[in-house]
Structure 1
Amino acid sequence: MGQRYEYKQASNCAGVLAIVGMIAGVSSIVPALEEPHYLDLISAHESQVIVGAVAQFVMIPAYVGFALYLYPALKMENEVLSLGFLGFRLIAATFHFIGVILLPLFLVLGQEFAQAGASSASHLEALGELLRTARDLVNHVALILSLGVGDLLLFGILYRSRLVPGWLSVWGLLGIGLAMSASFLVLSRMTDVVAPLYLSINAPLALQSLVLAIWLITRGFDTKTLTAGHQHDGPRG
């Protein structure tokens, strides 16, 4: 009974962290950086950049904490896959940290651009475009793919164990597949990260993540399924 309560509390905390991560993710958007002449706007929108960097930093403990809270129950089902899930969350955290570091560089570049003459403006614009491309590749390709692979492992475990309803796991698997395909579209320059195509492809996973978080908070894992599985089958590897 005590173990079931611990698993329920852990899944509740994971759900809360998922909500925190989603709110931080929305707050990490810096609209000024998406404008065509963003170097002219950066200095006037310094607060946007700072809030974006802080919000992306908050996503690191939220995303890693989500995995850590779920790990004990997932480990009971499949230790190898659960370690893989946790490992990819840590890899994603590294990319989050890189994204945090990149944002203040825009402030420096914006200040240099404001003071630069016409002769060096084009050079700074090229550097700024390179920096913006690097940020998009980190946040929307490397980060999404590392999260995606880890979450494929997560929902594979959840689907097999029925710790959450099967439809929720299948929804997650399909949503991850779409999100990863959107990252490949960004990588191949077939879409921009603020384009309707990219946003619509990612919408199913965003909605599924919200539903999963609410489920974990209100219902938690079906620990009777977990316990019953181990009583009859033993640890699943």
Structure 2
Amino acid sequence: MPSKHSHSGGRLAAGLAGVLFITGLVTGILSVVPVIDGPDYLTLASANENQVQLGAIFQLVMVVAYVGIPIAMYPIFSKHNKGLALGSVAFGIISGVFLILGVLLLLLLLTVSHEFAKVGALSGSTIQTVGELLRTGRDLVNHVATTLSFVVALFILNGLLYQTKWVPRWLSASGLIGSALSILASLLFMIRFIGLDAIYMMLNLPIALQQFILAIWLILIAFNREKPDSESILR
């Protein structure tokens, strides 16, 4: 039978994962840099340097959340399926690496924007080409590579949640469906079938809502001292 220490450790892991889910969602919203997404991004980026730098900072905080979520849940799920638990950690770390790469591309775009402001549009055709390449690369890193790797980690975690009944199965099942839709959105964006438009947002909305509900559920588990952790997980 699981010890009280195991129960306490499981609740702590659940609470930490819940907080990290919320952190990832909030910083994901705050990391959006509107001036980079517009047609005049080379002019606007340098004029709104603080917005770009804040976006970079919040994206770095996302690294902590994306990598930390599967690591926080690993002690629990490794008792059920160590291979899958390790897989979720691996994909979480990969997503963190891509997030850092996205930050570097964003800062490079800011540098290019400063150079463009110096030479002007008439003399900056080469800079415009470099800027477009950097922006396209950043979009692919953020919305394809990062999203795919993190969502695969989420898919594995929700599969483990479904198997272990750590949360209600309707919640973990909705995570599996939402993850699949998010993967579809990234693949469609990668082949340029869709852009960063309403369709892309709608396909990603289910997993975002599921993450929020799951986060609240995990935090409530952390504070529920009367209900022991699932024995199927902690054996």
TM tier relative to shorter chain: over 0.9
1:200 aligned partner: 202
RMSD: 1.8
1:77 aligned partner: 80
Match of 1:168 among 153, 167, 171: 171
For residues 192 and 179 of structure 1, what CA distance do their matches in structure 2 show? Answer: 14
2:16 pairs with 1:30 = no
Residue 134 of structure 2: SS of its match in structure 1?
helix
Aligned length: 230
2:156 pairs with 1:139 = no
For residues 219 and 210 of structure 1, what CA distance do their matches in structure 2 show? Answer: 14
CA contact under 8 A between 1:7 and 1:221: conserved in structure 2? no
Match of 1:88 among 80, 91, 94: 91
Q: What TM-score does the superposition give when structure 1 sets the normalisation length?
A: 0.92
For residues 165 and 43 of structure 2, what CA distance do their matches in structure 1 show? Answer: 52
The residue type equivalent to 2:48 in the other structure is H
CA contact under 8 A between 2:171 and 2:214: conserved in structure 1? yes
Q: What do residues 157-177 of structure 1 show as CA deviations (whole Å, max 9, x unaligned)?
A: 110110111001100000000
Distance 1:38 1:211, change over 3 A: same
Runs of 4+ in 1 over 2 A off after TM superposition: 117-120, 219-226
2:110 aligned partner: 107
2:49 pairs with 1:46 = yes
Match of 1:4 among 2, 7, 15: 7
The residue type equivalent to 1:143 in the other structure is T
2:125 pairs with 1:122 = yes
1:218 aligned partner: 220
CA contact under 8 A between 2:77 and 2:233: conserved in structure 1? no
Q: What do residues 31-87 of structure 1 show as CA deviations (whole Å, max 9, x unaligned)?
A: 001111111111111011100100000111122222221110011110000000001
Deviation at 1:226, TM superposition (A): 2.8
Deviation at 1:117, TM superposition (A): 4.4
Deviation at 1:220, TM superposition (A): 4.4
Q: Percent identity?
A: 43
